């Protein structure tokens, strides 16, 4: 999730494997998410580094201002977080759609930059999503490993009021954490959350401005070689998507 530096060359990406809806209902089975709307936000944009003026423009997030968007991070081998996020988002969309959900993405790799964090929040709000999830990977020092889920803290200022979604977002976050850990086998973060796998923040516009239950997930640390080996694996990314889908299923039961 951390910015990798705006002047870096475009990172190369490993070959993407088409998402396969493993673990989804078979043909003719009941679709448990029929009628549900899920908003998926693939964090960042692989072309943001080419549009520094646009992404550095400040936007209002209730309790202050933030950059419109950031570049995100990458592995030492050049696999961009933005590419990871979008790949997992596609896999998750396939899984949820197979269960009957209507899935909306904040972007689908079809924009030159962004969108801004304000627009990312608005996608879930406008579609009245039952759940909104922002997918990321972290950029911490080597040795800091594992995943964590970011929950919204209470913000009621500057036109933002996320009070009604704080409690349901925590339930969503707990369900997502438990399912993600079970399916992927990944450990909870050893550097954020004190072993809970949860972190509450009030500095993220995507959470401050949301009017629907929403969390972020940091799937691992791209700067750590052991975590990076997982994040660059298509097989593991499918497990990550399945863990997210099962967490959303559990929350919506």
72, 4 Cβ separation under 8 angstroms: yes
183, 241 Cβ separation under 8 angstroms: no
φ and ψ of 29, to 5 deg: -75, 160
Return d(Cα 121, Cα 125) in angstroms, integer: 7
In 66-210, alpha helices (H): 81-98, 117-126, 163-184, 205-208
Q: Which residue has the tokens 């088409």?
A: 18
192, two tokens: 């954020």
Give catalytic status of residue 218 as yes or no.
yes
Return d(Cα 55, Cα 70) in angstroms, integer: 6
Return d(Cα 237, Cα 119) in angstroms, integer: 26
Q: Which residue among the candidates 81, 218, 246, 253 is catalytic per the annotation?
A: 218
Q: Is 73 exposed, middle or buried (0-12, 13-18, 19+ CB in 10 A)?
A: buried
187, two tokens: 């450990």
Instruction: For residue 171, give every residue at least 6 positions away whose Cβ sits within 8 Å of its Cβ, in sequence order, or none.
Output: 213, 251
Q: Is 192 exposed, middle or buried (0-12, 13-18, 19+ CB in 10 A)?
A: buried
Active-site residues, by number, are 218
């Amino acid at each position: 999730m951390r910015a990798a530096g705006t002047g870096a060359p475009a990172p190369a990406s490993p070959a993407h494997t088409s998402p396969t809806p493993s673990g989804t209902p078979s043909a003719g089975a009941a679709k448990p998410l029929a009628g549900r709307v899920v908003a998926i936000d693939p964090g960042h944009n692989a072309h943001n580094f080419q549009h520094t003026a646009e992404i550095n423009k400040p936007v209002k997030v209730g309790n202050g201002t933030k950059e419109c968007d950031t570049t995100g991070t990458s592995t030492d081998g050049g696999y961009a977080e933005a590419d990871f996020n979008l790949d997992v988002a596609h896999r998750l969309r396939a899984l949820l759609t197979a269960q009957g959900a209507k899935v909306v993405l904040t972007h689908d790799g079809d924009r030159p930059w962004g969108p801004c964090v304000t627009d990312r929040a608005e996608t879930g709000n406008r579609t009245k999503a039952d759940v909104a999830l922002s997918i990321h990977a972290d950029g911490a020092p080597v040795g800091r490993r594992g995943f964590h889920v970011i929950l919204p803290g209470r913000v009621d200022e500057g036109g933002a009021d996320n009070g009604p979604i704080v409690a349901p977002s925590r339930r969503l976050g707990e369900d997502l954490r438990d399912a993600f850990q079970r399916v992927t086998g990944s450990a909870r973060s050893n550097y954020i959350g004190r072993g809970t796998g949860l972190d509450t923040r009030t500095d993220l516009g995507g959470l401050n401005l949301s009017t629907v239950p929403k969390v972020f997930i940091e799937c691992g640390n791209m700067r750590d070689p052991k975590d990076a080996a997982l994040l660059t694996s298509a097989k593991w990314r499918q497990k990550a998507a399945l863990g997210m889908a099962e967490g959303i299923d559990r929350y919506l039961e």
